[in-house]
Chain A
Amino acid sequence: MIKTRKGPARLCQGDIFRGIEFIEYVMEKAGIVEISKIVFPLVIVLTQDCDLEQDHRRFKSSISQDHDKWLLSVLVAPLYNVEHVYQGEHLSELNMQMQKINPKKTPGEYLKDNRLPRFHYLEFPGNVPIVPSVIDFKHYFSVNVNYLHRVKKTKFVCSVSSLFREAISQRFASYLARIGLPELSNP
């Protein structure tokens, strides 16, 4: 189980929001605009907390002469219900069938122990209304920083406390920095 907190007023690494939209594309043809978006029930902020803290200073004072520390976007990753992940059904409404993970066998046990580099398993305390969830480090996207500020009041759920969010951050960075080697066939 992880530890959560209410968090300060600014955006923080480890903040969890609900109902966050990811814009897939915006197209215009013959006067018709088409927008495709995915609404994620829950996402967690992955952007480094020091970057978020420095970005936040823009609201506090006008001392800075430039906008060097301002962020354009915030990196987030969706949280999926672990029961859906076991079934490979967590993206079924996007017409995607994912690999099944048997919770009673080694892959499922490894998932819950955070021994699979691709996934991060989270269990929340009883006062947080989130079921056991999984972050898939292959799935991440950016959200406009002003948009997150705007919806913080209505869509903020909780914030993962610092030690636990650093574990997530470190594992995410490690997964992203992995070296992909080609599969070589035997001669």
Chain B
Amino acid sequence: MHDKLPFSKEYQSASETKAEVPILSEVVPQDQIKIDTERYRMAKPKRIIIRAEITHDKDKKRTRTTMPR
């Protein structure tokens, strides 16, 4: 098992959501949703490519994963 994948900051923030699973008790009321309408008017789907080196420890020593044959 790999302890950590040094993903980009963006990916970390996306994956490290503090929300618990499942969220069942609350739905965001419509009037509390704050969306930058202008930004969404212009937004288009975007591709993001993340490359990360697999490391086992904090020293980030490079290791190979074992692939099943």
Do residues A31 and B35 form an inter-chain contact, with CB atoms below 8 A? Answer: no
Q: In the assembled complex, which residues on chain A have CB atoms less than 8 Å from the CB atom of B31? A: 127
Do residues A128 and B30 form an inter-chain contact, with CB atoms below 8 A? Answer: yes
A122 to chain B, nearest CB (A): 14
Q: Is A120 an interface residue (CB 8 A)?
A: no
Q: Is A100 an interface residue (CB 8 A)?
A: no
Do residues B47 and A94 form an inter-chain contact, with CB atoms below 8 A? Answer: yes
A64 to chain B, nearest CB (A): 16
Interface residues on B, range: 35 or more
A to B CB contacts below 8 Å, 30 in the list: A6-B27, A21-B14, A28-B54, A28-B65, A31-B54, A32-B53, A33-B50, A34-B51, A35-B11, A36-B50, A37-B47, A37-B50, A38-B46, A38-B47, A90-B44, A91-B44, A93-B47, A94-B45, A94-B47, A129-B37, A146-B21, A149-B22, A150-B17, A150-B19, A150-B21, A151-B19, A153-B23, A154-B28, A156-B27, A158-B30
Chain B residues engaging chain A, CB cutoff 8 angstroms: 5, 11, 14, 17, 19, 21-31, 33, 35, 37, 40-54, 62-65, 67
